[in-house]
A and B are shown apart, each in its own frame.
Chain A
Amino acid sequence: MKAVDYAAPRTISEAITLFSEKGDRARALAGGTDVLVQVREGRREPDWLIDLKHIPELNELAFDSKVGLRIGAAVPCSSIYESALSKPYAALIDAASLIGGVQIQNRASLGGNLCNASPAADTVPALIAHEAICIIAGPEGSRETPVEKFCVGPGRTVLGRGEILVSFQLPIPRKHTGTQYVRFIPRNEMDIAVVGVGVSVTLDESRSRCIAARVALGAVAPTPLLVTEAGAALVGGALTDDQINKAAKLAQAAAKPISDMRGDADYRQHLVGVLTKRALSDAIARAKDKEN
């Protein structure tokens, strides 16, 4: 691996100073499962790796009964699915449990998964389904942006010079909400999504009609997508097969996949329909579960 310098700031303001000074020459290090591979293979050539794991706010995992779950950007996947605090966020647990093997899950973070800005990142459609907000800190202060607006292209994000992703804020799911993340890979484990779908469905008091829904797609466009119209097609109805098929068709229409070694564009388009239906059926079952 090329020579790099290493810094481990202890506070957000130290980190902002470092990133402001170094600009594009610095890259954030959390779990390292993407960035170290990229530097080793020469796909990224930073002069500095800034280890953000020593900043308390990036390691936070806390639930507040008013605002919901806050997850520090550097918290590893295994800490998320092992914590009882994450239980109401089923789609996120689905996604965090299927990234890589245990070795990867013990290091890979949600912040890293998002900032790496791969269209196929597994946790991103799940975070979008959960309406997660990114908390960003920078030289001008802090700002918030919904997860679906964070990536602007493959490998590119809204983060400006000196800015870091601090944490995610996930609102408390409404009563009778079910969420699900499913992906297709050609093997059982340890692969990158050909298509990933994260959904959320909220039912009314009688648990028969849908009052809110979100459908998010991964690996079918330059960035993860929130398909607002697919969610809207489910609202107000009794979630009949017709309605679910319509939502799946709208998701397919929004998908703009490319062909690559993992799958042809046509195949991905087909998978979007299959997986959207599957994710919605599972999420509806979860929403009907007495515990939700």
Chain B
Amino acid sequence: MSKKVHVQAKINGADSEFLCEPRQSLLEVLRDELRLTGSKEGCNNGNCGACNVLLDGKLVNSCLVLGVEIQNRSVTTIEGVAGPEGLHPLQQKFLEHAALQCGICTPGFILAAKALLEKNPHPNEHDVRFWLAGNLCRCTGYDKIVRAVLDTAK
């Protein structure tokens, strides 16, 4: 086993530090070291988007980032999406539209949709579907997800 590395980063706005092995993905660090289990492991190879987080504001698959790579950087996970005043509008709309079945893909979809709306506050359906192409819902509830995102953007 290689030596553990000390990493300092901002996680959901708070200064955070942890020890990790270089082989550990950011997803493993979030779940196993920091106990932030909202980010899910789906495929673990970058196809499904269930582990999506924002790294310095950019949408990434946390399974394809090493924990050691986030030294001095900032990460937003699903746990950091709701504000002190309550759910994020996307979370609220996902609830209203019942845009989830088993829920495993939901954190990734919310982070992906959040990144989209920050870039393009008024997407059309094509924009939403194109942007969410990197997120898989194995319950195949895409239509409600797309409607929830479009409704949030209204």
Q: Given the complex of chains A and B, what is the CA–CA distance between A29 and B70 in angstroms?
A: 14
- Quick one: which of A6, A106, A190 contacts B68, CB cutoff 8 A? A6
- A5 and B55 CA atoms in complex are apart in Å by 22
Mark the stretch among A32-40, A140-148, A166-174 that contacts chain B: A32-40
> In angstroms, how far is the closest chain B Cβ from the Cβ of A32?
5
- A4 near B2 (CB under 8 angstroms)? yes
For the complex, give the distance between the alpha carbons of A107 and B112 in Å: 15
Instruction: Answer yes or no: A49 CB below 8 A from chain B CBs.
Output: yes
CB <8 Å contact, B60 and A5: no
Residues of A within 8 Å of B63, CB to CB, are 36
User: Which residue of B2, B23, B24, B60 is within 8 Å of A106 (Cβ)?
Assistant: B60
Chain B positions within 8 Å of A189 at CB level: 130, 133
Q: A78 at interface (Cβ–Cβ under 8 A)?
A: yes
- Residue B16 CB within 8 A of the other chain: no
Q: Chain B's nearest CB lies how many Å from the CB of A173?
A: 27
Q: Which residue on chain B has the smallest CB distance to residue A188?
A: B133
| Least distance between A35 CB and chain B CB atoms (Å) | 9
Contacts A106-B59, A190-B47, A190-B133 given; does A4 touch B23 at CB 8 Å: yes
Contact B64 A107 (CB under 8 A): yes
B113 CB, nearest partner CB in chain A, Å:
11
Contact status of A103 and B23, CB under 8 A, knowing A6-B68, A32-B64, A32-B66: no
A204 CB to nearest chain B CB (Å): 37
Count contacts between A and B, CB distance < 8 Å: 89
Q: Do B22 and A33 touch (CB < 8 A)?
A: no
Cα–Cα distance between A101 and B50 once the two chains are bound (Å): 13
Whether B64 pairs with A3 at a CB distance below 8 angstroms is no
Structural contact, B22 and A6, CB atoms closer than 8 A: yes
User: How far in angstroms is the closest Cβ of chain A from B89?
Assistant: 20
How far does the Cβ of A127 sit from chain B's closest Cβ, in whole Å? 22
A-side interface residues, number (CB < 8 Å):
30
Bound Cα distance from A96 to B60, whole angstroms: 16
Query: B8 at interface (Cβ–Cβ under 8 A)?
Result: no
Which residues 123-137 in B have Cβ within 8 Å of A in the complex? 130-135
Q: Are B22 and A49 in contact (CB under 8 A)?
A: yes
**Chain B interface residue count, Cβ-Cβ cutoff 8 angstroms:** 35
Q: Nearest chain B CB to A171's CB is how many angstroms away?
A: 30
Q: Give the residue of A4, A8, A102 whose beta carbon is less than 8 angstroms from that of B131.
A: A102
Q: Check B22–A4 contact: CB distance below 8 A.
A: yes
- Cβ of A104 under 8 Å from chain B: yes
Question: Secondary structure at chain A's binding surface: helix, strand, loop or mixed?
Answer: loop
A32 to B25, CA, bound (A): 11
Q: Is B46 part of the contact surface with A, judged by Cβ < 8 Å?
A: yes
Question: Which residues between 58 and 76 of chain B lie within 8 Å of chain A, taking CB atoms?
Answer: 58-61, 63-66, 68-69
Residues A3 and B21 in contact, CB atoms below 8 Å apart: yes
Q: What separation, in Å, do the CA atoms of A104 and B48 have in the docked complex?
A: 11
A-B contact pairs, 28 of them (CB 8 A): A1-B23, A1-B25, A3-B1, A3-B21, A3-B22, A4-B2, A4-B22, A32-B65, A32-B69, A37-B45, A37-B46, A40-B45, A49-B22, A51-B69, A101-B49, A101-B133, A101-B135, A102-B115, A102-B133, A103-B61, A103-B112, A104-B46, A104-B64, A106-B58, A106-B59, A107-B61, A107-B64, A190-B47
A-B contacts besides A5-B3, A40-B44, A190-B134, 17 pairs, CB < 8 Å: A1-B23, A1-B24, A2-B23, A3-B21, A6-B2, A8-B68, A32-B64, A32-B69, A37-B45, A41-B45, A53-B69, A101-B131, A101-B133, A104-B64, A106-B55, A106-B59, A190-B133
When A and B form their complex, which 7 residue pairs have the shortest distance between CB atoms, in order from nearest? Answer: A101-B134, A6-B22, A189-B133, A106-B58, A1-B23, A37-B45, A103-B134
